[in-house]
Structure 1
Amino acid sequence: MAGLLVVGIHSTMSNRSLVVKGAAWIALARLFVILIGLASTLILARLLTPEDFGLVAIAGAVAAVIGSITELSLAQALIQHDDPQDYHYDTAWTLNNIRAILLSVLIGTSAPFIASAYGDPRLLSILLFMAAMTLIDGLQSPRLVGFQRNLVFWQEFVLSVSEKIAGIVVGVIVAIIFQNYWALIFGSAATRIFRIIASYFLAPYHPRVGLQGHRELLSFSVWLTFSKTIQMINWRADPLILGAAIQPVILGQYSMSDNLAGMPIREGLGPIRQTLFPAFSRIKNDMGRLNAAYLRVQGLLCLLALPIGAGFAAVAQPAVHLLLGEAWLPAVPMIQALALIMAFEACEGYQPLAMALGRTRAMFGRELRAVSIRLPLLIAGAVAGWQVGGEFSTVMGAIGGRGMAALINVTWNMILIRKMTGITLGCQVFVIMRPLAASAAMFALLAYVLSPYLLQDLDAPILLTLVLMILAGIVTYVTMIFLAWLLSGMPSSSEMEIIKFFDRLGVFFRKNLQKDKRAGDGT
């Protein structure tokens, strides 16, 4: 999948082989992370209860929001720097550890108040443990960013896969022994500890205390820090807001829905998104090439995100029944709505583009605007849902508010991209239309034609039903997207790049087969 990005922008970027290799490593890492993460989620969902997930969701949101206040974004500053020296890495390591100490104190001192506010003493011990674990977060080797600077991403595979394995092993063991929320917490702790240890093997660094380069790094990262703080509050406030009105069981279902709905899009597009900032940074001084590259990327994001979201929404019921069990079936409507919302939100790439151009102050304004739209609409939707009837309606109302906010914010981001690059709204919207139409046709077929027919036979194997729906969705989407492309006059777009990609792939395999055949004839 990430390789398609390279094909889509190869004509506008140099160092193509580096991007290809980097994207391939990230794609491989993401594939393993998806499988491991899915296995972990399914196992823990069977061993634990929705209430366990709800408690950890509240504690995790508190830690994330407090952590965002002290976020320094030093890794991005090192990537963007033209020539970082040893003292820049020493400064980053020192600042990260100062931040970790401050963050640990903030989480620890807030723990009693949070537990009291939510009326659950279990939150006190959870937050105190998280505060202790936060102390080690600043110890990671700062030289890991050197791989990203040089578009070398093989270490992402090693780190991502190994830390996930460590986390799931510890989490499952604790879940089997204690069968409570500590499995989620200890699993997360194991992941963090393993990553820190592995970072020094992959990117050796001798820690030194120093602040000589703090002005250079913070001059870039200060507005990015503010942006990430607002962004974290925006996206992690949901459990804090909803947790005050609904029981942990319903909150756990919402938290699981948010995670599952975002997983296919987040992990599927991750290999692409992770290469964008360093790749855009390399051509930031050539606006013509940068604009062309951005439109190619946006087209590819839409081409992938929309069918992933629509398809997952359509098969949510049999998927949840098979993978999570009947206890999680009330979460199906939440998953369906959130998958569609997240797919739409993935159709633009403002953040890596703005970071590459050094527009971190503009990013702060954008995040401030986003949170001022999203949270009031989420709260308004939750209140309206509560008036309609109960906790489930409260959650669905909040999701409806998220959907309205997504529509407004994505449109606004496209306007900001136009101001920043000169790319018109018409060009940005045009790349969405064909994937949107093809995804809508696929969703209609699966949700309103196949789903009622296949799911009415309760004796049919649920796995077979799920496989048939997925295959039908893939065939429908591919057919519709290329039909729409043909009717549009076969423009030079992401569809064309995909055709070229598979054509090159076919040539590669044919050459290797011929080579093997000649070698066999020679023997």
Structure 2
Amino acid sequence: MSGISGRLIKGSIWLSFSRAIVNGLATLSTFILAWNLTPSDFGVVALGMTILLIVSTVTELSLAEALIRHEAPKDSHFSAAFTLNATRGLLLALFFAGFAWPAARLFDEPRLTGVMLALGLSVFMSGLTNPRRIMLQRDLIFWQEFVLAVSQKLTGFIAAVTIAIIYHSYWALVIGTLVTQATNVVVSYLVLPFWPRITFRHMREFFSFSAWLTAGQIVNTLNWRFDYLLVGKMLGGTSLGYYSVGSNLAMMPTREATLPLTQTIYPGFANIQHDPPRLAAAYQRVQALVAAVALPAGIGVAVVVDPLVRLTLGEKWAPIIFIIQALASVFALQTLGSLVQPLGMAKGETRLLFIRDTQMFAVRVPIMVAGLLFAGLPGVVLGRVFTGLFSALVNMILVRRLIGVTVLAQLRANSRALVSAGVMAAGVSFASHHLAYAADKPALALQLATIVALGGFLYCATTFLLWELMRRPDGPETEIRNILGKMLARLRPVGSAPAAKQTEK
């Protein structure tokens, strides 16, 4: 396990660097675009992206996951994956070209025609990506992933921001997506050269693994994306713009704080799938670490979002404050069971994941529709809060079935993080309530910095106080200490190690 753990930690460090850059660019891009575009601009692109995600997922072949789990993939497997992906991309591009005008009529949004045509080109380019790049994840090698992630985000950022500042047009969002996808294709072949052939071999082999996984992805995407179509159709583009931006910003802190860890999980679990005790122990360790990072990130943003939005986006975006407050905490709490997806995939239980997704779809749709009909956009948001918490419980029950770890044991492993996040939220809310209202930007920035620092101190202090009181049990604190120790060891001067050994002698 030590070899795998070491590679996972090294991979997490590479991904942490890349996500820090990507997250910084994404945040800066969101702020610049929000200043230069309108909620309606975000709404029309969100509508097109939602249709793209649903159609893409319905036709998703899950070839990357099949290649990771394959014991010895050959060049013919990669060529077959390229052929299938390219064929799918071409068919989807043709579908988008034919559906662009009817979609614009359906949603009474003329601008949607051009957006759909451009997104069709984007999905075609995505089908041309180098299939061998998935081996970087399989072999737990992540520096090339760093190059891929940073290069595509940087080019997309430059394109989107330039067009937004010059033209103030929703095309900034669309062209940014196209440039990002084009960069992804080109760089994928530069970091890992491969010349694919056209072949349809291994189709049965691919589909035998991916059938249930693809079915689950279809249901899951419909489950978590149909509300965008619902809001766009019933409430209009402006409401959809608020909903889309608010949801993305609410998800960002949890996603960006945990992605360096979660992106390495599936190949790590797959490597030890045949050793149940090690798999169960690895799951508990990683899940507790993910939650320890996600809870302060998500809940912390929820309690400071009011001054954050007013300072960075301006008063015109004030309606998204409630959306972020409600959803950011839920996204963080969902990490208590979110790793069941890579766990189930590693164990080959894709049918079980499909059943879970179908059941959640049956629960979520009527709740979201009822919320919209009775309370409009706030009702949709509250529906997402309820179903999000319910899905976290369902995931923890599924973890118990897969590896035998009870729900109570899972909660116990996260008890210090949960208590610390509660103390942080209470302390920051109390301080915010008693601080004087800041009208000007400098005072607002100072107020925001103060409560963020207070929240970070309260969370860290409470966590390590509880850890000491519980006599330093194994958990996230141990993992963080080990990771920091490895990082510091790499930063030591070259001559210090021999000196230390000589002292020991």
TM range (shorter): over 0.9
The answer to whether the aligner puts 1:350 opposite 2:340 as a matched pair is: yes
Aligned residue for 2:134?
145
The answer to whether the aligner puts 1:35 opposite 2:24 as a matched pair is: yes
CA deviation profile, 1:18-53 (whole Å, cap 9, x unmatched): 222211111111111001111111111111111100
Partners of 1:151 and 1:504 in 2: how far apart? 17
The answer to whether the aligner puts 1:417 opposite 2:399 as a matched pair is: yes
Specify the code of the residue in structure 2 equivalent to 1:179: H
Partners of 1:314 and 1:382 in 2: how far apart? 25
The answer to whether the aligner puts 1:265 opposite 2:254 as a matched pair is: yes
| 2:289–2:479 contact (8 Å) kept in structure 1 | no
Summarize the alignment of residues 202-281 of structure 1 with structure 2, pairs less than 5 Å apart: 202-281=191-270
Aligned residue for 1:111?
100
Shift in Å, 1:161: 0.6
Aligned residue for 2:77?
88
Deviates more, 1:151-160 or 1:248-257: 248-257
Partners of 1:25 and 1:423 in 2: how far apart? 30
Partners of 2:436 and 2:362 in 1: how far apart? 41
Partners of 2:265 and 2:482 in 1: how far apart? 21
Shift in Å, 1:288: 0.3
Shift in Å, 1:384: 2.0
Aligned residue for 2:470?
488
Shift in Å, 1:476: 0.4
Q: Which runs of 5+ in 2 are unaligned?
A: 501-505
Shift in Å, 1:238: 2.0
Tell me the percent identity. 37
Q: Among residues 451, 454, 459, which one is paired with 1:469 in the alignment?
A: 451
Q: Among residues 280, 292, 304, which one is paired with 1:303 in the alignment?
A: 292
Shift in Å, 1:56: 0.7
Q: Among residues 420, 423, 433, which one is paired with 1:452 in the alignment?
A: 433
Shift in Å, 1:359: 1.1
Partners of 1:382 and 1:16 in 2: how far apart? 46
Structure 1 residues 517, 466: CA separation in 2 closer, same or farther (over 3 Å shift)? Answer: farther
TM-score when normalising by structure 1 = 0.91
Specify the code of the residue in structure 2 equivalent to 1:498: I
Shift in Å, 1:483: 2.4
| 1:66–1:106 contact (8 Å) kept in structure 2 | no
Shift in Å, 1:60: 0.7
Partners of 1:509 and 1:125 in 2: how far apart? 51
Structure 1 residues 129, 500: CA separation in 2 closer, same or farther (over 3 Å shift)? Answer: closer
Give the match's secondary structure for 2:180: helix
Partners of 1:441 and 1:17 in 2: how far apart? 33
Shift in Å, 1:375: 2.4
Partners of 1:82 and 1:472 in 2: how far apart? 49
Specify the code of the residue in structure 1 equivalent to 2:9: V
Partners of 1:171 and 1:503 in 2: how far apart? 40
The answer to whether the aligner puts 1:441 opposite 2:423 as a matched pair is: yes
Specify the code of the residue in structure 1 equivalent to 2:169: N
Aligned residue for 2:152?
163
Give the match's secondary structure for 1:65: helix
Partners of 2:65 and 2:208 in 1: how far apart? 12
Deviates more, 1:454-463 or 1:273-282: 454-463
Shift in Å, 1:228: 1.3
Shift in Å, 1:504: 5.6
Give the match's secondary structure for 1:72: coil
Partners of 1:58 and 1:501 in 2: how far apart? 41
Aligned residue for 2:410?
428
| 1:88–1:214 contact (8 Å) kept in structure 2 | no
Aligned residues: 498
The answer to whether the aligner puts 1:287 opposite 2:296 as a matched pair is: no
Where relative contact order (Cα < 8 A, 6+ residues apart) is larger, the structure is 1
| 2:305–2:321 contact (8 Å) kept in structure 1 | yes
Aligned residue for 1:401?
383
Specify the code of the residue in structure 2 equivalent to 1:140: T
| 1:374–1:406 contact (8 Å) kept in structure 2 | no
Specify the code of the residue in structure 1 equivalent to 2:357: E
Structure 1 residues 128, 457: CA separation in 2 closer, same or farther (over 3 Å shift)? Answer: closer
Partners of 2:154 and 2:229 in 1: how far apart? 29
Structure 1 residues 472, 209: CA separation in 2 closer, same or farther (over 3 Å shift)? Answer: same
Aligned residue for 1:175?
164
CA deviation profile, 1:203-241 (whole Å, cap 9, x unmatched): 111121101111112211121111111121122222101
Give the match's secondary structure for 2:178: helix
Aligned residue for 1:184?
173
Aligned residue for 1:70?
59
Give the match's secondary structure for 2:439: coil
